Amino acid sequence: MQNFWPGRRIVIGVCGGIAAYKIGELVSTLAKAGADVKVVLTSSAEQFVTPLTFATLSRQSAHTDADFWHRSAGRPLHIQLADWAEAIVLAPLTANTLGKLAHGLADNLLTNLLLASTCPVLLAPAMNTDMWKQPTVQRNWQQLLADARYWSMNPSSGRLACDAEGPGRLPEPAAIATQLMALLWTKGIPDWTDRRVLVSGGGTREFLDPVRFIGNPSSGKMGWAIARAARDRGAAVSLVHAPLSLAPDANHLDGIATVEVQTAAEMRSHLLEQFPQADFTFMAAAVGDVRPTTRAATKLPKSDLPAQLPLETIPDIVGELSQKQQPRQKLVGFAAQTGDPLPAAIAKLEQKGLDAIVANPIDRPNRGFDSRDNEATVISRDGRQIAIAPCPKLLLAHQLLDFAKTL
């Protein structure tokens, strides 16, 4: 399962808003990844981006209202597309199309396609801030979301093309793609709804003085991936993280409660505070094992640096959480190892009383710390194992969540 996208059948419906130009990036990304992408434009969308643009990026014809009565295999186009689609993305979703869908209206190719289909639909609205805040628009939005078939992405905030400031910006194409992955992975069923998930991520830093520290190369990408996958599948997620090198924007962390820390002591404090409320805790952070016994308040001159650095052991956070664990809670640890990661991971699983552990090698090309991809073996307390082949960390996160549901 190294690539999630080949063969996926996706219809992208583009409505008439200035953000329509951003959808070219989404179409191109999915098509290059191997997805079968078909674009349907409303007549208003054609005023912003031409069908030729999307046809070029998707490697196949883009459809407009002029094609409404075109018959494919003896059937109207909207019926053929409705039966073909595995998922539909509406981006940007305008107030006009939102209102039509909320009231079951269909007066163009896109809205007829939506009413004729039964697959899950991802909604990514974008419009002027005052339009988005209108009570009628919000009523239509809530009415549409009452249908379990629809998955939502709230618009992000910022300066809009009309110079307004506030909510109304289209979520970034990368964020839409990751939400679409969750929708397709679960076949449109948010299977982590009503679960509270706590995730730790990143590498802690233990300071000798304000500019020097003992640390590790963890980027926090694995913790971010677990938090994002759980959030996209309906969970209430908290992420306690050391500095992240991926620099996620608001679209990537929207809806995730985040706390940034530096040291293991800070991470321990926040995890202990939030742990009692968590149903599942994933300890993906690379927490330091030792720290300097003293920390200077000002930068030490080079001549004052100690020839031997006195160190002390950092308390074991995951072991402490295990001691406080309630029967309803599940605790998943991580073991980043060189060589064969399994013996050390199994020992850690048993010693710390975890429900499961994720063993991943960090000495193989493009794996582990600060890489886009990872591979792992997940081991449960009762001895079950699954091997996850090398894949993007977000895809690994979805497979880990599937396994965690069986604990």
Band of the pLDDT at 251, cuts 50, 70, 90?
Answer: very low
User: Which backbone phi and psi does 254 adopt, to 5 degrees?
Assistant: -60, 130
Q: What is the mean pLDDT of residues 346-360?
A: 96
Cβ proximity of 180 and 89 under 8 Å: yes
pLDDT at 156: 79
pLDDT at 2: 52
pLDDT at 80: 94
Q: What is the mean pLDDT of residues 276-280?
A: 98
Which residues fall within 8 angstroms of residue 402, CB to CB, at 6 or more apart?
none
**How far, in Å, CA of 128 to CA of 102, rounded?**
19
- Of the residues 15, 119, 162, 391, only one is catalytic, namely 162
Tell me the two tokens of residue 377.
């073996």
Q: What is the mean pLDDT of residues 139-147?
A: 96
pLDDT at 362: 86
Q: What is the mean pLDDT of residues 272-280?
A: 98
Cβ proximity of 305 and 225 under 8 Å: no
**Residue 10: is its pLDDT beyond 90?**
yes
**How far, in Å, CA of 347 to CA of 353, rounded?**
10
Task: Give Cα 311 distance to the centre of its chain.
Answer: 37
pLDDT at 249: 44
Look over the chain and give the mean of its residue pLDDT values, rounded to a whole number. 93
pLDDT at 73: 65
Second CATH level (architecture) for the domain 196-404: 3-Layer(aba) Sandwich (3.40)
Task: Give Cα 239 distance to the centre of its chain.
Answer: 12
Which residues fall within 8 angstroms of residue 223, CB to CB, at 6 or more apart?
199, 200, 201, 202, 239, 241, 282, 284, 285
This prediction has a pTM of: 0.92
**Residue 29: is its pLDDT beyond 90?**
yes
**How far, in Å, CA of 168 to CA of 125, rounded?**
7
Q: Do 9-185 and 196-404 agree at the fold level?
A: yes
Q: What is the mean pLDDT of residues 14-30?
A: 96
pLDDT at 1: 38
**How far, in Å, CA of 124 to CA of 88, rounded?**
11
pLDDT at 367: 77
Q: Which helix (H) or strand (E) holds 102?
A: helix 95-102
Cβ proximity of 107 and 117 under 8 Å: no
Q: β-pairing, 330-337 with 311-313?
A: unpaired
pLDDT at 369: 84
Instruction: Give pLDDT tens digits for 119-133.
Output: 999 999 999 999 999
**Residue 250: is its pLDDT beyond 70?**
no
pLDDT at 7: 94
Band of the pLDDT at 252, cuts 50, 70, 90?
Answer: low
pLDDT at 126: 94
Question: In 175-286, which ranges are E strands?
Answer: 196-201, 206-209, 212-214, 236-241, 256-260, 280-283
**Residue 352: is its pLDDT beyond 90?**
yes
Give me the residue spans of the domains in the chain.
9-185, 196-404
126 or 245: which leads in pLDDT:
126
Q: What is the mean pLDDT of residues 155-184?
A: 86
Query: At the topology level of CATH, where does 9-185 sit?
Result: Rossmann fold (3.40.50)
**391 a catalytic residue:** no
pLDDT at 161: 77
**How far, in Å, CA of 145 to CA of 147, rounded?**
5
Band of the pLDDT at 248, cuts 50, 70, 90?
Answer: very low
**How far, in Å, CA of 207 to CA of 212, rounded?**
6
**Residue 235: is its pLDDT beyond 80?**
yes
pLDDT at 244: 85
**How far, in Å, CA of 174 to CA of 58, rounded?**
17
- Least confident span in 56-65, 87-96, 253-262, 325-334: 253-262
**Residue 169: is its pLDDT beyond 90?**
no
